[in-house]
A and B are shown apart, each in its own frame.
Chain A
Amino acid sequence: MGFKVSSTPSTAKLWFYLYFPLLPLEMLYSDKTLKPAVLLDQRRARLWLCNEQASEQGLKSGMAVATACSLCPKVQLLSRQPQQERQQLESLALWAGSFSAQISLQNDNGILLESASMLPYFQGFEPYHRRLQQQLQNIGFSSTIATGHTPLAARLLAHNGGFISTEPEQHLAQLGQLPVAALKLEPKTQERLIGMGLCRLYQLLQLPRNELASRLGAELLDYIDRLRGQQPDPQPLFTPPLQFIQRLDLLHEIDNSQALLFPLRRLLAALEGYLNSRQLRAETLLLELSERQKPDRDACATVRLPLKHSGGEYRSEAWLELWRLRLERLQLQQPIIAMQLSVDQFLERQGVSQDLFVPEKNTQSQRQSPQQLLSRLQTRLGEGAISRIGLVADHRPEKSWRRIPSDQPAASINTAATVTAVPATTAPKGYGAQRPCWLLKQPQPLPAVQLQQQIIRLLQGPERIVSGWWDKSPIRRDYYIGRWPDGRLGWLYRNHQGEWYLHGWFG
């Protein structure tokens, strides 16, 4: 096996090939199924792909449907959806946008990623590989990944069990062990090679180039040159669409809102990659659920669920958490047959600087931002449940504050602050200290007797407030601070009719 790499044009090249052998089958799952399932070929006569559970039962691709059913009666028979396969692969390419800027879709359910230029951003090869594998597991497709110094090398290795390395020599060494049949050459060429006693790839690679060209044709030479990296091998690159809209037709109808999370996870994974590749955050997502057609209606009804994150977010885990909370509140009227996820509102991503001396572990368990917390609360409790308070320039106690809806953008709060900047000079600021922390929602009538008999002792006052003559709720009140028999301090007033009311507590 002692062959030399004569001249690699650039040692810094590194490609990742992600091969999803069961993609056409697994994309049809509606949950994390562990049942045997097989995909039939175009004519629906023979098995084409079997999942692990089916293989354990002894099913193999190429087997007749009848044989399969007799071997394993419970097997789930699925048929191919060629159009959706392409869509699914594109969705995976979107997801891979987190890992590479140059992505190429391959016809054999594979994705090719140019990785060498990305490694610095992931602090090296190991973290990159780890992250990639973690996310692949989350997506839930069985996959084989391989690296290669050329696209072809990565592809060959991925198809033959996978191999991870950063060195071109090791790639070539591993490739050399492959049987010639793995090259998927034309049958005629392959027969000739085996006839010549060239069974393994390294034997082929050892031969002089000009001999190869003259005996086996320029095509094979070209192939080997591309494999070694001596010939450029340009790949068609995937361009992410301008707008993020991902549609998923569900094979099984879903009638439980929580079950929607499983297919949604994949859509969100694609979203994360898409947002990463464009350095954006999504502020509002729109999920459209198509209901099954009712017998008395012509068209399918659609449930539209917008979901807002108050600071914008790109991580799929955070969005999934929000969707989980949102879908908890959803009652499905009809089973769902398809779903579509789109982004309504994008935000620019802001760079986050990390502490140089705090290890990565700590930043992983980093705290949620206040915005994230707000989004969670809004999603679970509904927007009406959350509010803020602000000051208003009005002398009437019940009008000198206001409730601000929590979804109001910060800009309007700033204007509210400028409004309050005015009363800070006009309205006596010192009075704030004379105001109670608790204001009653409604002033509460007090029997005058309590004051006459000094059960409630007035400690301070009166402070006369006469205001609001210009609108419909004028007031004329004398405010006092009084001590209740149990020692509490209350804020009470007498109106112009001489009636007493409690208006707040000095909590």
Chain B
Amino acid sequence: MQPLVSSHHQNNDAESNGRQDSSQRLSQNAPLQHLLNQGRVWHARQGGERSLSRFKTQASGYQQLDQQLLGGGWQSGNLVELLYDKEGSGELRLLLPLLARLSKEERWLIWVDPPHIPYAPALAAAGIDTDKILMVHSKNRHDRLWTLEQALKSGGCSAVIGWLPQASAKAVRRLQVAAGEGATLGFICRPRQCQEQSSSAPYRVSLEPQLAGVGVTLLKRKNGWAMPTQQLSLGEDQLLHCQQSPLSGHNAPGRQRSNTEESQRPSLQLVT
């Protein structure tokens, strides 16, 4: 009989070995278990485990998408490739809930060469602390890749978002290595033509705006096959929620309140 280290293991074993066996084990370790339950024994492993499993998963905030990702989200220390044709394809809305959560950390959210102005009021409304956003405008491709690599590697960023209109497979591989070193989650936005090329990014997401919502396809994901296209609203329903009466009273206080409340927890709905 193997020694039991923590209550966590014990529960697992108990489930697998059947009730009788588990009750026997429990009785053997009753004094320890008792102390653990009382919270008098502090688990050193709790801190240690955190540092051992360096790669946390970061939920995207969209339940339907998270279900398709192992561990319920993007695994940090990896690159996520966002492939779309033009800005406005839902590329930022996909990230907003995650960025809002990450901006609580005392680290940068770094944006390297965004094609337009990241609009602070909209980002703030999505719950992002704009003080954490660092925008970098590089002069050339070389500097851009350098910046991305440094940002990913340093661990000083909670997320790195970069726009790479053109990047070789080799550059992406380097960035993936850097992301692993710094245990940082990186998003790189690339044109959709790159879909055909192979890429070392463990996650590849294609975004296709549709007449209602955005078609999100996981072309590649960690520990899984590619998934069929899902149509996600990405907060569109809240954006257009006063569609029925567009011309009257959209700043009525009651409605406004409900609006902000909803915007803080973007829900994902299947648009049919």
Contacts and interface: CB of A to CB of B under 8 A. Distances in A.
B121 A431 contact: yes
B60 interface: no
A439 B134 contact: no
Given A387-B135, A433-B125, A367 B156 contact: yes
B156 A484 contact: no
Given A373-B157, A437-B92, A506-B88, A460 B135 contact: no
Q: Which of B130, B209, B235, B260 has most chain A Cβ within 10 Å?
A: B130
A335 interface: no
Interface stretch (B64-72, B146-154, B193-201): B146-154
A438 B235 CA distance: 15
A430 B92 CA distance: 19
A505 B87 contact: yes
Given A373-B108, A439-B117, A490-B88, A433 B136 contact: no
A462 B247 CA distance: 7
Contacts, number: 206
A430 B256 contact: yes
A435 B135 contact: no
A487 B119 contact: no
B155 A439 contact: no
Q: For chain B, which range describes its interface: under 10, 10 to 19, 20 to 34, or 35 or more residues?
A: 35 or more
Chain B binding surface, main DSSP class: mixed
A377 B147 contact: yes
A401 B131 contact: no
B119 A481 contact: no
A488 B88 contact: yes
A362 B133 contact: no
Contacts of A417: 131
B23 interface: no
A428 B259 CA distance: 11
Q: Which of A373, A417, A484 has most chain B Cβ within 10 Å?
A: A373
Contact of A507 (B87, B135, B139, B157): B87
Given A376-B150, A438-B116, A400 B121 contact: yes
B250 interface: yes
Q: Which of A380, A433, A489, A504 has most chain B Cβ within 10 Å?
A: A433
B169 interface: no
Interface stretch (A23-31, A45-53, A228-236, A388-396): A388-396
Interface string A426-446: 001111111111111100000
A211 interface: no
A436 B87 CA distance: 11
B131 A388 contact: yes
Q: Which of B96, B118, B156, B259 has most chain A Cβ within 10 Å?
A: B156
Given A358-B48, A390-B131, A428-B256, A385 B154 contact: no
